[in-house]
């Protein structure tokens, strides 16, 4: 019954989305303004029903209801409950239901909390949101029903891909989806504002928290995904330029550009058309990301390949929404009035440069990701674009972007004096120069890119803190701290990426029990090996003793795991985190004569990469809290007539 | 400066930036477009310089373990070519004779020295060119 109830809830939610769209579209006509009142409540109820449908699917998974096809294909009664739970979205149908559930709940949240937009724009926004949701409901109901039954029901399920049985990956997709779907709200806001011709600062202020929230989740999702690949795949890499990774990077780049341009629009009423355009692009990138990952057209190392007909469905939705939004943009953009003017040397100027550079990176990543698909579709040649392409194109632009990012906050809004800017930049540049000389004198030869990266990270770190210089720290608004923390996070991540590449130490040996090997500052002794059993796997576990100088030795236990359903082997690296880096041990195969392969890495400062990512997201949270506090403060004052 | 001029400058800068980046992308793609090779491509076109990906099947009996315990030699082949490969490291779980592989690395002489055998993937995965040449592993789902 649960599955049928879930399907019914999904149909009702779809019908409500259609109703919400129709009411909204008709209500836009001023003669029928009374219809507008219903749109908000329909949006809330739609959110409730889709949440109910998703909750019921989770229930099916938690109960291991093997009469539901999706549960059979992706779960197993022996699985730990966390992975039964996460298995709900560890597959195509479930993840699409999660997508539309987040969409519906976010729409309900807009309906409940959004009080700044004028009535007509809000109704147009909710109507656009309902139309997006309706497409996805149709997709679920007609092309990928998550509640389909299997008759006769098998006794046991097939299990979940063991690579996905990891707490990091269990929560990775929902985080990314919150980001993707947040972008859909920014998109709906843009469509709403275009329809009612009210692209102005008030619209930007209403849109900004949603953009900021979505961007925080995207940042967290990318950071967590990178760390997951690093520790779970056991190959020690943290970014691969895999299409599935790019699928989350592309919306992030667009969202970052949007976040900065929406700030210009909200505070200075400039960049109106550009901001609307970016909102369309950012959501398009989220859709492209979903399409890439879920269509089955990718040959990714992650390989989530599914049925290509579903790919065509998503592609059709994609072209409908994006094409529609672009057509609306073309029709209406002429009526969007020009915003305020500014000098080229100004905060706005720096933000425009930031936007152009982010767009340029987005462009080369999109080309690199889609070119192989296009080439195959057009000429039938199969080719793959890899890290060398992305490093050669995105790398240099990113370095320039980082410099602009350091300069931007040191300029004034509207108009600035070049000389004054130079004097404000002097100290960070000086610090950078000192770092350059120190590195040239003392650092071992490490290659030009890591070298530049470290120097730049130090300079950018100094410049990021500069906006706090000589300010009253207690009166500095929280969102300024947010910007400082985020920019500092970029410097920290850059430092981590550069030092990891420059100073990494690696030892690869075939060792017998009792042998020792050295890696970086550590001496590793191979103590033994024994079989162990987990809830749904068995493993060989190696015990290694690591000692640094005369410090106390400690034990590390990497494993090679065997899962039976589906039959797969995974390797669980043993990682020890220290203040100055990570010791990363992987245990490989035995050769039958008593020797076992061991791969030992000492990765100095590698944790800075993800610490930086977390700081970027944390800065976003500070900004969001700061903005909301300020607005609530203003609303309270208004309410009390102050 | 008049608003009109400013917009013109911004538009020009934007066009220059985007053209520059697409030129950069194009030139990098020209080097990289032939990034993925099958053994047959190598047989026809000769040995490429620089880092590439090599994808194909490992024939039965194709893997030889060296005495140091961490180096293996194997061959990657398709219907028209065979390439000898050397790899030092821990092989991914699904690396075995009779299955597909994608190796990253570059040629040293006539031997392809792999720095990375593509990370673990699920049992459905096939390198693009290999999928057509040998039988595709049937999964439980099918």
Average pLDDT over residues A228-236: 80
CA distances A118 to A111, A203, A211, A239, Å, are 12, 9, 19, 44
pLDDT given at position A304: 43
Domain that holds residue A297: 166-408
* Predicted confidence band of residue A638 (pLDDT cuts 50, 70, 90): low
Residues A434 and A373 in one domain: no
In 3D space, the residue among A465, A443, A454 whose CA is nearest the CA of residue A497 turns out to be A454
Contact A343 B50 (CB under 8 A): no
Strands B63-65 and B111-117: unpaired
Contact B33 A385 (CB under 8 A): yes
B70 touches chain A (CB under 8 A): yes
Q: For residue A564, list its beta bridge partners.
A: A567
Judge whether residue A474 has pLDDT over 80: yes
Q: Is residue B136 part of a domain?
A: no
In this structure, what CATH number is given to the domain that contains residue B75? 2.40.50.140
B34 touches chain A (CB under 8 A): yes
Q: Is the ipTM of this complex over 0.85?
A: no
In 3D space, the residue among A93, A1, A14 whose CA is nearest the CA of residue A50 turns out to be A14
Among A32-46, A305-319, B54-68, where is mean pLDDT lowest? A305-319
Residues B75 and B39 in one domain: yes
pLDDT tens, B26-39?
887 776 556 778 88
Average pLDDT over residues A83-107: 89
Is the pLDDT higher at A565 or at A123? A123
pLDDT tens, A116-134?
788 889 999 999 999 999 9
Residues B24 and B42 in one domain: no
Q: Is residue B140 part of a domain?
A: no
Residues B39 and B104 in one domain: yes
């579709």: which residue's tokens?
A377
A602 touches chain B (CB under 8 A): no
Judge whether residue A236 has pLDDT over 80: no
* Predicted confidence band of residue B2 (pLDDT cuts 50, 70, 90): low
Is the pLDDT higher at B1 or at A368? A368
pLDDT given at position B134: 35
Domain that holds residue B19: 1-33
Judge whether residue B132 has pLDDT over 50: no
CB B92 within 8 Å of CB A597: no
Residues B19 and B43 in one domain: no
**Residues in Cβ contact with B20 at an 8 Å cutoff, skipping those fewer than 6 apart:** A360
Phi/psi of residue A548, nearest 5 degrees: -115, 115
* Predicted confidence band of residue B127 (pLDDT cuts 50, 70, 90): very low
Joined together, the tokens standing for residue B42 give 């190598």
Instruction: Kindly list the residues from chain B whose CB atom is less than 8 angstroms away from the CB atom of residue A599.
Output: 89-90
B139 touches chain A (CB under 8 A): yes
Residues B8 and B46 in one domain: no
pLDDT given at position A436: 87
* Predicted confidence band of residue A642 (pLDDT cuts 50, 70, 90): very low
CA–CA distance, A427 with A434 (Å, rounded to integer): 11
B8 touches chain A (CB under 8 A): no
Among A36-45, A98-107, A170-179, where is mean pLDDT lowest? A170-179
Q: Where is A395: in which H helix or E strand?
A: helix A387-407
pLDDT given at position B92: 76
Residues A378 and A449 in one domain: no
Residues A303 and A383 in one domain: yes
Contact A158 B128 (CB under 8 A): no
B6 touches chain A (CB under 8 A): yes
Residues B28 and B51 in one domain: no
* Predicted confidence band of residue A297 (pLDDT cuts 50, 70, 90): low
Percent of chain A with pLDDT over 90: 43
Contact B32 A343 (CB under 8 A): no
Nearest CA in chain A to B65: A591
Residues A200 and A277 in one domain: yes
């130090």: which residue's tokens?
A458
DSSP state of B138: P
* Cβ neighbour number for residue B67 with a 10 Å cutoff: 7
Average pLDDT over residues A217-226: 93
Contact B25 A508 (CB under 8 A): no
> Which residue in the set A163, A237, A344 is minimally distant from B122, CB to CB?
A163
pLDDT tens, A6-18?
999 999 999 999 9
Residues A379 and A399 in one domain: yes
**Binding residue per annotation — B121?**
yes
């032939």: which residue's tokens?
B34
Contact B18 A363 (CB under 8 A): yes
Calculate the dihedral angle through the C-alpha atoms of A51, A52, A58, A63, rounding to the nearest 10 degrees. Answer: 170
What mean pLDDT is reported for chain B?
Answer: 75
pLDDT given at position A639: 53
Strands B81-88 and B111-117: parallel
What mean pLDDT is reported for chain A?
Answer: 87
Q: Is residue B43 part of a domain?
A: yes
């993800």: which residue's tokens?
A610
How big is the CA angle at A10 (ends A8 and A11), to the nearest 5 degrees?
65
Residues A194 and A263 in one domain: yes
**Binding residue per annotation — B37?**
no
Mutation site for B-interface testing, chosen from A235, A240, A395 by largest number of B Cβ within 10 Å: A235
Q: Is residue B113 part of a domain?
A: yes
Judge whether residue B4 has pLDDT over 90: no
> How many structural domains is chain B composed of?
2
CA–CA distance, A272 with A414 (Å, rounded to integer): 15
Judge whether residue A159 has pLDDT over 80: no
Cis peptide before A152 (omega within 30 of 0): yes
Q: Which of A408, A425, A444 is the last residue of a domain?
A: A408
Q: Which of residues 93-132 of B touch A (CB under 8 A)?
A: 93-94, 104, 116, 118-125, 127-129
pLDDT tens, A357-372?
999 999 999 988 888 7
Q: A388 to chain B nearest CA, in Å?
A: 8
pLDDT tens, A424-458?
888 888 988 888 888 888 777 777 778 888 899 99
pLDDT given at position A563: 82
Q: A195 to chain B nearest CA, in Å?
A: 25
Joined together, the tokens standing for residue A619 give 């800065």
Residues B6 and B69 in one domain: no
> How many structural domains is chain A composed of?
4
B91 touches chain A (CB under 8 A): yes
Instruction: Kindly list the residues from chain A whose CB atom is less than 8 angstroms away from the CB atom of residue B123.
Output: 566-568
Residues B79 and B113 in one domain: yes
Residues A146 and A195 in one domain: no
Contact B6 A341 (CB under 8 A): yes
pLDDT given at position A630: 80
Residues B5 and B40 in one domain: no
Q: Is residue B47 part of a domain?
A: yes
> Which residue in the set A375, A566, A591 is minimally distant from B69, CB to CB?
A591
HSE, side-chain direction, 13 A CA sphere, residue A31: 0
Mutation site for B-interface testing, chosen from A162, A336, A385, A596 by largest number of B Cβ within 10 Å: A385
B4 touches chain A (CB under 8 A): no
Residues B89 and B51 in one domain: yes
Residues B24 and B51 in one domain: no
Judge whether residue B94 has pLDDT over 80: no
Q: A543 to chain B nearest CA, in Å?
A: 18
Contact A591 B32 (CB under 8 A): no
Q: Which of A372, A391, A408 is the last residue of a domain?
A: A408
Q: How far is CA A38 from the centre of its chain?
A: 34
Average pLDDT over residues A490-495: 94
Q: Is residue B13 part of a domain?
A: yes
Nearest CA in chain A to B118: A301
**Residues in Cβ contact with A233 at an 8 Å cutoff, skipping those fewer than 6 apart:** A163, B119, B120
Instruction: Kindly list the residues from chain B whose CB atom is less than 8 angstroms away from the CB atom of residue A348.
Output: none
pLDDT given at position B16: 85
């990682």: which residue's tokens?
A575
Average pLDDT over residues A491-510: 90
Residues A222 and A204 in one domain: yes
Residues B54 and B106 in one domain: yes
B64 touches chain A (CB under 8 A): no
In 3D space, the residue among A505, A637, A512 whose CA is nearest the CA of residue A581 turns out to be A505
B141 touches chain A (CB under 8 A): yes
Q: Which of A162, A196, A229 is the last residue of a domain?
A: A162
Contact B31 A389 (CB under 8 A): yes
Residues A292 and A421 in one domain: no
Q: Is residue B26 part of a domain?
A: yes
* Cβ neighbour number for residue A337 with a 10 Å cutoff: 10
3-state class percentages of chain B: helix first, strand second, coil last, to nearest 5: 30, 30, 40
């Amino acid at each position: 019954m649960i599955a049928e109830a879930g399907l019914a809830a999904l149909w009702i939610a779809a019908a409500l989305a259609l109703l919400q769209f129709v009411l909204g579209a008709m209500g836009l006509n001023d003669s029928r303004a009374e219809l507008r009142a219903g749109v908000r409540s329909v949006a809330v109820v739609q959110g409730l029903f889709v949440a109910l449908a998703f909750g019921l699917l989770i229930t099916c998974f938690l109960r291991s209801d093997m009469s539901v096809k999706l549960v059979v294909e992706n779960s197993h009664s022996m699985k730990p409950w966390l992975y039964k739970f996460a298995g709900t979205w560890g597959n195509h149908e479930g993840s699409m239901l999660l997508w539309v559930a987040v969409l519906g709940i976010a729409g309900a949240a807009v309906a409940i909390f959004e009080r700044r937009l004028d009535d007509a724009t809000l109704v147009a926004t909710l109507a656009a949101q309902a139309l997006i949701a309706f497409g996805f409901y149709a997709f679920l109901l007609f092309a990928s029903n998550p509640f389909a039954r299997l008759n006769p029901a098998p006794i046991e399920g097939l299990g979940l891909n063991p690579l996905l049985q990891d707490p990091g990956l269990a929560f990775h997709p929902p985080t990314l989806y919150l980001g993707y779907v947040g972008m859909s709200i920014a998109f709906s806001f843009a469509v709403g504002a275009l329809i009612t011709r009210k692209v102005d600062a008030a619209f930007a202020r209403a849109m900004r928290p949603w953009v900021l929230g979505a961007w925080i989740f995207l940042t967290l999702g990318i950071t967590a995904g990178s760390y997951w690949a690093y520790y779970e795949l056991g190959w020690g890499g943290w970014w691969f330029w895999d299409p599935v990774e790019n699928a989350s990077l592309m919306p992030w780049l667009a969202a970052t550009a949007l976040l900065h341009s929406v700030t210009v629009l909200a505070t200075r009423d400039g960049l109106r058309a550009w901001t609307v355009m970016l909102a369309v692009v950012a959501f398009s990138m989220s859709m492209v990301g979903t399409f890439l990952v879920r269509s089955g057209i990718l040959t990714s190392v992650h390989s989530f390949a599914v049925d290509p007909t579903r790919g065509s469905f998503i592609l059709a939705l994609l072209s409908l929404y994006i094409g529609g939004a672009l057509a609306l943009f073309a029709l209406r953009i002429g009526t969007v009035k020009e915003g305020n003017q500014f000098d080229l040397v100004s905060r706005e100027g720096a933000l425009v440069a930031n936007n152009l550079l982010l767009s340029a990176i987005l462009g080369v990543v999109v080309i690199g990701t889609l070119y192989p698909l296009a080439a195959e579709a057009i000429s039938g040649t199969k080719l793959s674009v890899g890290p060398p392409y992305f490093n050669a194109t995105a790398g240099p632009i990113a370095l320039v972007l980082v410099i602009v990012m350091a300069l931007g906050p040191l300029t004034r809004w509207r108009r600035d004096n070049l000389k004054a800017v130079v004097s404000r930049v002097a100290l960070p540049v000086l610090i950078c120069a000192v770092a350059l000389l120190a590195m040239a004198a003392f650092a071992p030869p490490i290659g030009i890119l890591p070298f530049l990266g470290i120097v730049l990270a130090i300079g950018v770190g100094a410049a990021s803190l500069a906006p706090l210089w000589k300010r009253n720290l207690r009166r500095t608004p929280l969102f300024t701290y947010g910007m400082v923390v985020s920019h500092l996070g970029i410097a920290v991540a850059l430092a981590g990426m550069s030092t990891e590449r420059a100073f990494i130490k690696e030892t690869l040996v075939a060792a017998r029990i009792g042998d020792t090997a050295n890696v970086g500052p550590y001496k590793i002794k191979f103590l033994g090996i024994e079989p162990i059993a987990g809830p749904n796997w068995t493993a060989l576990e190696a015990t290694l003793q690591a000692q640094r100088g005369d410090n106390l030795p400690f034990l590390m236990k990497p494993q090679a795991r065997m899962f039976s359903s589906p039959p797969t082997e995974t390797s669980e690296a043993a990682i020890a985190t220290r203040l100055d880096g990570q010791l990363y041990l992987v245990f490989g195969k035995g050769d039958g004569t008593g020797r076992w392969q061991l791969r030992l890495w000492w990765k100095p400062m590698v944790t800075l990469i993800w610490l930086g990512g977390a700081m970027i997201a944390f800065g976003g949270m500070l900004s969001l809290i700061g903005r909301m506090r300020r607005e609530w403060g203003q609303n309270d004052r208004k309410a009390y007539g102050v | 400066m008049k608003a009109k001029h400013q917009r013109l400058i911004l538009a020009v800068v934007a066009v220059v930036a985007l053209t520059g980046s697409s030129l950069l992308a194009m030139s990098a793609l020209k080097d990289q477009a032939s990034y993925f090779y099958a053994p047959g491509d190598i047989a026809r076109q000769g040995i490429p310089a620089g880092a590439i990906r090599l994808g194909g099947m490992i024939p039965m009996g194709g893997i030889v373990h060296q005495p140091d315990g961490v180096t293996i030699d194997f061959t990657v082949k398709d219907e028209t070519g065979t390439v000898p490969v050397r790899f030092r490291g821990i092989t991914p779980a699904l690396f075995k004779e009779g299955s597909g592989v994608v190796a990253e690395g570059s040629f040293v002489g006539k031997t392809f020295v792999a720095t990375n055998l593509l990370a673990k993937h699920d049992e459905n995965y096939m390198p693009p060119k290999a999928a057509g040449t040998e039988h595709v592993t049937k999964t439980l789902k099918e």
